[in-house]
Amino acid sequence: MIIFLFSCGQKITKNYSPKPLEKTSYEAPYFSNPEIDYVYKANITVYGHELSGIFIAKKINDTTHRVVFTTEFGNKLLDFEISETDFKVNSIVSELDRKILISTLKKDFRLLLKKNYLIEKQFENQTNTIYQSVDGNRFNFIFLSKENQKLEKVVHASSTKEKITISFSSENNIFAEKIEILHQNIKLKIELNYFKTE
């Protein structure tokens, strides 16, 4: 088991040097303001099929976000509340009411909306710092730009391989204008682009 843990970390951090810990925790900046409705145009590609609509996330208390997917015309497809420990489906259309899909979305959005990470290792190269955090029996690798400390990517991995990569594009490190959630083990990609109201 230790060999596998080392091999996964070594693969993701292959071009990075270990560094003494600068901090023991990291707080993700995105989706943290309860005053803001985070509204994105969503494009989901799963096994060659595409679905588009609107993704809305709102922090409703210190630990919980409410997430709603709608069609572009405003018809609700999925409405749930999610925290680190709880997941409650408020409503879902029958076409999406599949256990495996709900489980996958729960993992994806729990990772996307995760606020606090306990850091156990740190790595760096010329452009990025990586914090490694334990997540149950898996790991999260948090990639920060050394130039401006922006959160650029979170990689969720098992002891042997990468599972989910979430990439962020942000101008100010407070709000991510573009987000991509990519699965390595299934053909699923979710793209979120900030919905600008004119």
* Spatial distance between the Cα atoms of 96 and 196, rounded to a whole number of angstroms: 27
Residue 139 lies in a domain: yes
| Residue 102 CA: distances (Å) to CA of 82, 143, 190 | 12, 27, 14
Identify the domain containing residue 50 by its residue range: 12-194
Residue 80 lies in a domain: yes
Q: What is the pLDDT of residues 170-182, one digit of tens each?
A: 988 788 999 999 9
Rg (CA), the chain: 17
Residue 7 lies in a domain: no
Residue 183 lies in a domain: yes
Domain CATH number, residue 148: 2.50.20
Residue 4 lies in a domain: no
The DSSP result for 41-99, as a single string, is EEEEEETTEEEEEEEEEEE-SSS-EEEEEE-TTS-EEEEEEE-SS-EEEEEE-GGG--H
Residue 122 lies in a domain: yes
Domain count, the chain: 1
Kindly report the pTM of this predicted structure: 0.90
| pLDDT, average across residues 46-75 | 91
The candidate with the shortest Cα–Cα distance to 186, out of 14, 74, 35, 46, is 46
Q: What is the pLDDT of residues 117-166, one digit of tens each?
A: 999 999 999 999 999 999 999 999 999 999 999 999 999 998 788 999 99
CA atoms within 13 A on the CB side of 48: 0
Answer with the residue of higher pLDDT: 195 or 60: 60
